[in-house]
Amino acid sequence: MRGPYGLNILDNCTTCPMKGSHVFCNLSPRAAQRLNEIKATAIYPKGAMLFLEGQQARGVFVLCTGKTKLSTSSREGKTIITKLSEPGDVLGLNAVVSGRQYEVTAEMMEPGQANFIPRDSFMHLLREHAEVAMRVAEQLSSNYYTAYEEIRTLGLTNSPSEKFAKLLLSWSTKPSPNDGLTQLKVTLTHEEIAETIGTTRETVSRLFSEFKKKQLLQLKGATLVIRNRSTLEEMAQI
């Protein structure tokens, strides 16, 4: 079904074309059918807030298409982006399982679809289907290790260039077999990149200039080309 913004609406979890290792991918027919019965599908525009930091957790959002950024802010207004979520991710999981407030704000970075599952229905799904409960436990464990790595990067890495190199490597996929280069789309502004690595927008602009002069990367519009991955790995101490 074609929806707003030219998106194809994925309205049936039992016939979803998305396959992978995400929490709700490749469930048994019975579990997938139950998931299909309790979720509500919606299309969200760019900039839409799925939930806000400090809001009581009312349910999880399963991102089907589009991207979201998860961020947290201090009382002084300083913001840190904790994660960029991709299709298949379950948002708000930690807060819903613990029964606490959402610890981050989830904002759509582009138009996309998310399926909402109310907390009561979601917790009943976990009790009813052991396979779903196990996958959720695995995801919560993965979230813990991701948070641990973020703390190490922000707290133990002193050099902005090291943080920037780690960020670029975390975005990149394997180099192209043809030329050995890695290409990726940059969807964040310099301000948002600064919020991701805990620095200033001016520092990010300077780092882009320095890395280009050193032939570490190249920018072609919104496309970033990593030209020297091994040097970036040395800078990031990988």
pLDDT digits (tens, 9 = 90+) for 171-198: 876 555 555 688 888 888 999 999 988 8
Mean pLDDT of 191-213: 92
Q: Residue 225: beta bridge partners?
A: 183, 218
Q: Which residue is it, tokens 């979720």?
A: 39
Select the more confidently predicted residue: 171 or 218.
218
Taking 60 as the threshold, does the pLDDT of residue 233 lie above it? Answer: yes
Note the pLDDT of residue 19.
67
Instruction: Select, from the ranges 56-60, 148-152, 162-166, 167-171, the one with the highest average predicted confidence (pLDDT).
Output: 56-60
Higher pLDDT, 154 or 203: 203
Select from 20, 122, 125, 128 the least CA-distant residue to 64. 20
**CB distance 79 to 72 below 8 Å:** yes
**206 pLDDT band (50/70/90 cuts)?**
very high
Structural domains in the chain, CATH included, are 4-156 (2.60.120.10), 160-235 (1.10.10.10)
More confident residue, 54 or 197: 54
Cβ count within 10 A of residue 110: 14
Nearest in space to 56 (alpha carbons), one of 89, 125, 91, 103: 103
Span 82-126, pLDDT tens digits:
888 989 899 999 999 999 999 999 999 999 999 999 999 999 999
Nearest Cα to 31, choosing from 124, 120, 118? 124
Determine the Cα angle at 48 with ends 110 and 126, to 5°. Answer: 95
| pTM of structure | 0.80
